[in-house]
Structure 1
Amino acid sequence: MAIGARARMVNPRLGTYFSIFAALYAALFLLVLIFEQLSLDDQLLRLAIFAGPIFIYGAMGLSVTTNETLCFFAAGRRVPAAYTGLLLAVSSLGATMIVAGTGLFFFAGFDAIVLLMGTLTGFVIMAIALAPFYRKFGAFTVPSYLGRRFESRVLRVATAAVAAVPMLLVLSAELRMGSSVAQRLVGGSQGSLICLLALTIAISTAAGGKRSFTWAGVAQSIALFLALLTVATTVSVIVTSLPIPQLANGPMVRELVRNEVNEGLPLVRVWPLAFELPPEGFSALTKPYTQPFGAIGPLAFIIGTFAIATGISAAPWLLPRVAASPGVYEARKSLGWATVFSGLALLTVSSVAVFMRDFTLDAVRAERLGSLPQWLSQLAAGHFVNFDQAAAQLGFEGLKFDRDGILFSLPVAVGLPSAFLYLLLAGALAAALVTASATTVSLATVLGEDAVQGMSWEPPTASNRVWVVRGFIGLTALSGAALAIAAPTDPLRLVLWALSITGASLFPVIVLSIWWKRLTAGGAIAGVLSGFIAAALAILTSELGMISTPSPIAGILGLPVSLGLAVTLSLMRPEANRHGLSIVRDMRIPGGEIIYDREMQRLQLRKHART
C-alpha cells in the first residue's frame, strides 16, 4: 500500500479534461436552444438534455476503473483542493438544499438564512477543528478512524451502525428529489425514475469507488453551477441590467418589502421555538421577505444553525472526503473552497427567490390593470402554481406556489426559451446525483470496511476489499431506492433529520477524540450510542406531538446527552493508553507519515510474518 501521499503526482491535465466537459455541456445546451427555435420535437429535446449528461457521467466513472486500494478508497490521495472543495460544497447541499432551499428562501425570506449560516459555519468548524487532523490520520471512514484511534472493535461497529442511518436518510431524500426533477424533465413514474437514478449511481461509482465518484462528481458539480449561474445571470441582466444576481437583487428587496406590506402582506410573529418550514407541495406567501423570525423563531434559528453546522462538520459522507487531498495544507484549502462554492450556490438561489417574489408582486398588482400575466397560466399548466383563473381578485393568498418548483418557475416568468428551464432541471438532477453518489460510496465503504471486517483488525487482501465494497455499492443504491419508494417523506425534512442525528451522535465524540486526550473507548461508545438514541427519540416524540420542539431540529437535543456521557464515563474510568496518546500527538503534527496507512502496513507485516 502506498504511504507517502505527496509521492503521487496530481494529474496536470485535470483542468483541461473538465474544461472539455464544460464545453460539451455548454454545446449541448446551445444545440437544444437552437433546435427549440427550429421547432424540433420538445420531448426529444428534453430527452437529449436528460440522457446526454447521464451517459457522460457513467462513461467518466467507468473510464477510471481501478482495483488499487488507495485509489479505490481515497482517490489516490491526490485530488486538488479546489476539486475537493467543489465536491464537499455540492455534496453538502445536494438537490434538496438547492431546490427546496430556493422555495424556503421564497416563502420564509430572511429566516431561510439559517441554511446559509448553518452550512458555512459547518465548513468553518470542519476546517478549524476536524479536517486537518482527520487528513493526517487518513482513515477511509469515520468508524475506521474512531476504531483505530481507541483500538476498539466495538466502537468501530457501533459507529458504523449509527453512521448508516443518516446516510440512508440523505440517500433517500436525494433520490426522491432527483426523481421529482427528472419527472418534470422527461415524465414517467417516480418509482421507475428512482430506480434509474440508483442504477446510474451504481454504474458511475462501482468501477473506481472514490476515484470514479471524484471524476463524475466534479463533472456533475460543474453542470449544477453552469445551470444556476447561466439562468440567474441572464435573468439579472434582463431585470436589473447587472450581470451579478447575488448583488443586483439588493435594491429590489427594499422596494419589494415596502410594496408587499402595502398590498396587504401582514407581519407575522411566531413563538421563539417555532420552525415552520414550507411543506412539500403548494403554499401561499404569508410574510414579507425581510421580516425576521416570521417563520422561524429566534431560539429555533440558533438551534437550527447549530444543528446544521454540527451535522455538516461531522457528516460521515463529507468528512472522509478530505482524506483524498494530497496533504494537510490542501485539506485546509479545500474547506476554504467548499465555503466559497456553497456560499455562492446559496446566494444564487436566494437571488432567484427575490426575483420570483418580485414577479409574484407584479401578478398581485396586475389584477387592477387588466388580465393576469401570461406566465402565470404557463406555470399553472406546468403544475408550478395554483390559482383560480376565474377569480376577479387575486391576492397573495390566492397564489399558491409549489415549494420545489420555485427554482424552475423563474425562466418561465421571465419569458426565457424552454431550454433554460431544461438546463436548470438537468443541473438540479446533477446535484442530486452528486450527493446520492457521495452517500452511496461512503455507506458502502462503511459496510464493507467496518461492518463486515469490524470485529477483526486483520486486513483482507486488496482485491477482496475492493470487490466487497463494489458489491455494497450496488446493494446500498438498491436499498436507498427501496426506501425512497416505500416511505416517501419530504426530502428537506429527511436531510435536516440526518444532520441533527449526525450532530448529536458523532460530532461530540470526533471533536473530543482530537482535542481531549483523556477520552476513553468506553466514553466514546457511550457518547455515540446515547447521542443517537436521544436524537432518534427526540425526533420521534416531536413527530408524535409529545414535545414542543419541531422535529427538524429536535434531534440536536441529543448532543448534550452524548457529550455529558462521554466525558463522565471517561473521567470515571480513565483508560488512556500510550498508543492512543501517541496517535493524538501524531495527528496534531501536519507533516510526516499518514497514521492510518502506517497502521495498515504494520498489520500487513504482522500477517506476513505469521504466514
Structure 2
Amino acid sequence: MAFGARARLINPRLGTYFSIFAALYTALFLLVLIFEQLKFDESFLRIAFLAGPIVIYAAIGLCVGTNDILCYFAAGRRVPAAYTGLLLGASALGGTFIVAGTGAFFFSGFDAVILLMGTLTGFVIMAIGLAPFYRKFGAFTVPSYLGRRFESRGLRVITAGIAAVPMLLVLSAELRIGGHVAQRLVGGSANNLVFLLALTIAISTAAGGKRSFTWTGVAQSIALFLAVLGVATTISVMVTSLPIPQLANGPMVRGMVRNEVNEGLQLIKVWPMAFQLPPEGFSALTKPYTQPFGSIGPLAFIIGVFAIATGVSTAPWLLPRVAATPGVYEARKSIGWATVFSGLALLTISSAAIFLRDFTLDAVMSERLGPLPQWLHNAAAHHIVTFDQAATRLGFAGLKFDRDGVLFALPLLVDLPSAFSYLLLAGAVAAALVTASATTVSLAAVLGEDVIQGMSWEPPTTQSRVWIVRGFIVVVAFCGAMLCVTAPSDPLRLVLWALSLTGASLFPVMVLSIWWKRLTVGGAIVGVISGFVAGAFAIMMGEMGTLSTPGAIAGILGLPVSFALAIGTSLMRPEVSRHTVEMVRDIRVPGGEIIYDREMQRLQLRKHSRT
C-alpha cells in the first residue's frame, strides 16, 4: 500500500519529459554543427546556443507555475530522489566549481582535490546527520526550521539575516562567472549579460517558486552534464582511444610527471597554512601535477576540506531541497545521487585539466621539433593563453593560461568544430544559472517567510504569501546582479567565503538542534551570532594578512567558537520544555506526520476558529 501511495505522488512521465529536453538540446547542437559546416554566420550560431536554451528554461518555468503553497515552497513534496540528487549536485558545484575548478586542477594538480573531498564529505555529513531529520521536520527554509524547533521568532529573524549573507555571495559569484562565460560565447558587455542572466532567473522561477526552479534546474543540470561529459568523452576517444575520460588519463599522468620535472617544474615546499589556489586571470604553471601540498599546505588542506564540507552540508540554498522529496527514505537516496553526480562532474573536469597539461607539456618539450602547435595559436585567439607568438621555443614560464578559460581550451586541443566550444560554453552558463537560481529562490523564501512574516506564526493568506516571495525573487535577482557589477570579486574566493561563513554560523546549531536535546533557544541564538561574527572577523583578518590562516578558509575558525558558546549558554540554563523534547524525539523517527505541515495546520485551524 505504501508503495502504491508513493507512486501516485510522482509524475511517471518525468523521464519522458526530460528525455524530450535532452533530445532538443542534442538536436540544437547537431543543427549548429551542420550550419557551421555550411558556413553560416558564426555570430548567429553563437546567439542561437545562448538564446535557445534560455528560451527553453523560461518556458519550462512558466509552464509549471503555481499558486499552491506546498507546490510553491516545496515542489509539492513529490520530487523523485534521482532528480533531487541531480539538482543538489549541480547546485553545489555551479559555474564556479566547474569553470574555476578546472583551472584549479590545471594549475594546482593534486591540491585541487580539496574541492572534490570537501564537496563529497559535505554530502556525506548531510546524508548521515542532517537531511533525513530536516526532511521529517519539513520546513521550507533553514530559519523556519530553527524558529519552529526552538519556538523563537527572534532566532528565526536573526538566522534569516545571517543566512542571507552567504547566499548573496554565492549569487554574485555565479552571476559573475556566468556573465564572463556568456561573453566568451556571444561577445558584448559582461555586465549586460549579467543582467540578462538575472532576468532569465526571475522569469524562469518566479511563476512557480521551488516547483519552477526544480524542473528548470533539472533541465539546466542535464545541459551541464551533456556538455561536459560529451566534450570530455570525445577528447578522450581521440587522445587515448578510450571513452571513459575519468579513467583514461592514468597512463598519461605517469609519463607526464617525470617530463614536467625535466622541463623545469620543480617540487615546491610551502608552509603548512599556505592556501594558494590560482587567482582569477592569467597564471603560469609552477608545480608538477601530482605533487601534494605544493600550493596548499597540509594544515590548510584539512581546514579547507572541513570548511567546504560543513558549508555544503548546511547550505541554506541546498539543504531545504530535501524537503521536496516524498519521504525520509527518498531524502537519503537523493543525497546518494548528489554524491554520484557531483563526484562524476569533478572527476571529469580533473580529467580535462590533465588532457590540457599533457598537450602543454608536448608544446614545451625541449626535444620538440617544428613550429609551435596550432592549438596554442587558436587558444590565444580565444584569450585562453598568452605567449610570445614569435618564439620557436617555449618554457612553462612563457605560457600563461586564464584560469577561467582552461575548460574551454578542450575543443581546441584536437581542432574540433566550433559547435563543441559553443556546447561547452552553454553548459557552463547552465551550471551558473542552476546555482544562481537556487540561491535566488531560497533567499526570496527566507525574506518573505522569515523576515516579512518572521515575527508572527500566523500564516498569511495563500495569495499574499506566494506573491510576496514572487516579488522577492525579482528583487533578489536584480540585487545580485547589481552586487556583481558594482563589487566584482574572484568568484572562487566568494564561494569559499560563503561556505566558510555557513559552516561557522549554521553548522553547529543545526547539528546540536538534532543531536542534543538540552540546546536552548539562548544557546542557539548565541551560537549563530557568535559563529558568524567570529567567521567574518577571521576572514577580514586573513585578507589583511594579520591572521596566519588564509582569508579564503579563515571563516571556519568561527565554528569552534559557535559550538563552545552555544553549549556553554545552554548549560547555564539547562531547562528545556517538554514540548521541545517531544519535538526532538519526533524528528528522529523516520515515519509519521511531517512536523512543519502539522504545525501549520494547527495554526490554520486556530485562525479559522477565531474568525
Q: Report the TM range for the smaller structure's normalisation.
A: over 0.9
**SS, match of residue 425 in structure 2:** helix
Q: How does 1:52-63 map to 2 (within 5 A)?
A: 52-63=52-63
Contact persistence 2:166–2:497 (CA under 8 A)? yes
Number of equivalences: 608
Q: CA deviation at 1:330?
A: 0.1
Cα distance, 1:112–1:566 mapped onto 2, change above 3 Å: same
Q: CA separation in 1, counterparts of 2:37 and 2:548? A: 54
Corresponding residue for residue 294 of structure 1: 294
- 1:39 correspondence with 2:43: no
Q: CA separation in 1, counterparts of 2:14 and 2:103? A: 35
Q: CA deviation at 1:190?
A: 1.1
Q: CA deviation at 1:262?
A: 1.2
Corresponding residue for residue 531 of structure 2: 531
Contact persistence 1:501–1:555 (CA under 8 A)? yes
- 1:401 correspondence with 2:401: yes
Corresponding residue for residue 311 of structure 1: 311
- 1:260 correspondence with 2:265: no
Q: CA separation in 2, counterparts of 1:436 and 1:254? A: 39
Q: CA separation in 2, counterparts of 1:173 and 1:304? A: 19
Q: CA separation in 2, counterparts of 1:607 and 1:463? A: 16
Q: CA separation in 1, counterparts of 2:204 and 2:482? A: 19
Corresponding residue for residue 424 of structure 1: 424
Q: CA separation in 2, counterparts of 1:23 and 1:127? A: 33
Q: CA deviation at 1:610?
A: 1.3
Q: How does 1:311-460 map to 2 (within 5 A)?
A: 311-365=311-365, 368-460=368-460
**SS, match of residue 567 in structure 1:** helix
Q: CA separation in 1, counterparts of 2:343 and 2:267? A: 28
Corresponding residue for residue 206 of structure 1: 206
Q: CA separation in 1, counterparts of 2:602 and 2:452? A: 21
Q: CA separation in 2, counterparts of 1:599 and 1:470? A: 24
Q: CA deviation at 1:24?
A: 0.4
Give the partner amino acid of 1:470. R
Instruction: Map Cα deviations across residues 415-442 of structure 1 (whole Å, 9 max, x no partner).
Output: 1111000000000000000000000000
Q: How does 1:231-246 map to 2 (within 5 A)?
A: 231-246=231-246
Give the partner amino acid of 1:460. P
Contact persistence 2:175–2:198 (CA under 8 A)? yes
Contact persistence 2:362–2:368 (CA under 8 A)? no
Contact persistence 2:75–2:211 (CA under 8 A)? yes
Corresponding residue for residue 510 of structure 1: 510
Q: CA deviation at 1:393?
A: 3.2
**SS, match of residue 268 in structure 2:** coil
Q: CA separation in 1, counterparts of 2:55 and 2:415? A: 30
Q: CA separation in 2, counterparts of 1:164 and 1:34? A: 46
Q: CA deviation at 1:87?
A: 0.4
Contact persistence 2:372–2:392 (CA under 8 A)? no
Q: CA separation in 1, counterparts of 2:610 and 2:56? A: 47
Q: How does 1:562-573 map to 2 (within 5 A)?
A: 562-573=562-573
Q: CA deviation at 1:217?
A: 0.3
Q: CA deviation at 1:467?
A: 0.3
Corresponding residue for residue 500 of structure 1: 500
Pairwise CA RMSD: 1.1
Q: CA separation in 2, counterparts of 1:490 and 1:210? A: 29
- 1:19 correspondence with 2:23: no
**SS, match of residue 607 in structure 2:** helix
Q: CA separation in 1, counterparts of 2:122 and 2:414? A: 35
Q: CA separation in 2, counterparts of 1:194 and 1:389? A: 33
Q: CA deviation at 1:247?
A: 0.3
Give the partner amino acid of 2:449. E
Contact persistence 2:353–2:406 (CA under 8 A)? yes
Q: How does 1:449-488 map to 2 (within 5 A)?
A: 449-488=449-488
Corresponding residue for residue 178 of structure 1: 178
Give the partner amino acid of 1:142. V
Q: CA separation in 2, counterparts of 1:475 and 1:102? A: 32
Q: CA separation in 1, counterparts of 2:269 and 2:494? A: 26
**SS, match of residue 502 in structure 1:** helix
Instruction: Map Cα deviations across residues 306-354 of structure 1 (whole Å, 9 max, x no partner).
Output: 0000000000000000000000000000000000000000000000000
**SS, match of residue 489 in structure 1:** coil
Q: CA separation in 2, counterparts of 1:378 and 1:173? A: 28
Q: CA deviation at 1:6?
A: 4.7
Instruction: Map Cα deviations across residues 482-514 of structure 1 (whole Å, 9 max, x no partner).
Output: 000000000000000000000000000000000
Q: Which runs of 5+ in 1 are unaligned?
A: none
- 1:551 correspondence with 2:551: yes
Contact persistence 2:263–2:366 (CA under 8 A)? no
Q: CA deviation at 1:8?
A: 6.1
Corresponding residue for residue 588 of structure 1: 588
Contact persistence 1:68–1:462 (CA under 8 A)? yes
Q: CA separation in 2, counterparts of 1:143 and 1:368? A: 61
Q: CA separation in 2, counterparts of 1:41 and 1:95? A: 28
Corresponding residue for residue 152 of structure 2: 152
Contact persistence 1:6–1:326 (CA under 8 A)? yes
Which range is displaced more, 388-397 or 470-479?
A: 388-397
Q: CA deviation at 1:458?
A: 0.8
Q: CA deviation at 1:81?
A: 0.1
Contact persistence 1:135–1:327 (CA under 8 A)? yes
Corresponding residue for residue 277 of structure 2: 277
Cα distance, 1:33–1:245 mapped onto 2, change above 3 Å: same
Q: CA separation in 2, counterparts of 1:220 and 1:509? A: 33
Give the partner amino acid of 2:298. P
Cα distance, 1:7–1:85 mapped onto 2, change above 3 Å: closer
Q: CA separation in 2, counterparts of 1:209 and 1:459? A: 18
Contact persistence 2:96–2:491 (CA under 8 A)? yes
Instruction: Map Cα deviations across residues 18-64 of structure 1 (whole Å, 9 max, x no partner).
Output: 00000000000011111111111111110111100000000000001
Contact persistence 1:366–1:372 (CA under 8 A)? no
Q: CA deviation at 1:468?
A: 0.3
**SS, match of residue 401 in structure 1:** strand
Q: CA separation in 2, counterparts of 1:9 and 1:534? A: 44
Corresponding residue for residue 229 of structure 2: 229
**SS, match of residue 230 in structure 1:** helix
Q: CA deviation at 1:464?
A: 0.9
Q: What is the TM-score with the length of structure 2 in the denominator?
A: 0.99
Q: CA separation in 1, counterparts of 2:390 and 2:45? A: 34
**SS, match of residue 296 in structure 1:** coil
Q: CA separation in 2, counterparts of 1:367 and 1:402? A: 26
Q: Which runs of 5+ in 2 are unaligned?
A: none
Q: CA separation in 2, counterparts of 1:605 and 1:8? A: 28
Cα distance, 1:366–1:211 mapped onto 2, change above 3 Å: farther
Q: CA separation in 2, counterparts of 1:485 and 1:199? A: 15
Instruction: Map Cα deviations across residues 187-207 of structure 1 (whole Å, 9 max, x no partner).
Output: 111111010000000000000
Corresponding residue for residue 167 of structure 1: 167
Q: CA separation in 2, counterparts of 1:450 and 1:23? A: 41
Q: CA separation in 2, counterparts of 1:323 and 1:573? A: 32
Instruction: Map Cα deviations across residues 394-416 of structure 1 (whole Å, 9 max, x no partner).
Output: 10000000000000001112211
Q: CA separation in 2, counterparts of 1:115 and 1:474? A: 31
Contact persistence 1:119–1:308 (CA under 8 A)? yes
**SS, match of residue 249 in structure 2:** helix
Contact persistence 1:530–1:558 (CA under 8 A)? yes
Contact persistence 1:274–1:296 (CA under 8 A)? yes
Q: CA deviation at 1:391?
A: 2.7
Corresponding residue for residue 598 of structure 1: 598
Percent identical: 79
Give the partner amino acid of 1:167. M
Q: CA deviation at 1:541?
A: 1.0
Instruction: Map Cα deviations across residues 455-485 of structure 1 (whole Å, 9 max, x no partner).
Output: 1111101111100000000000011000000
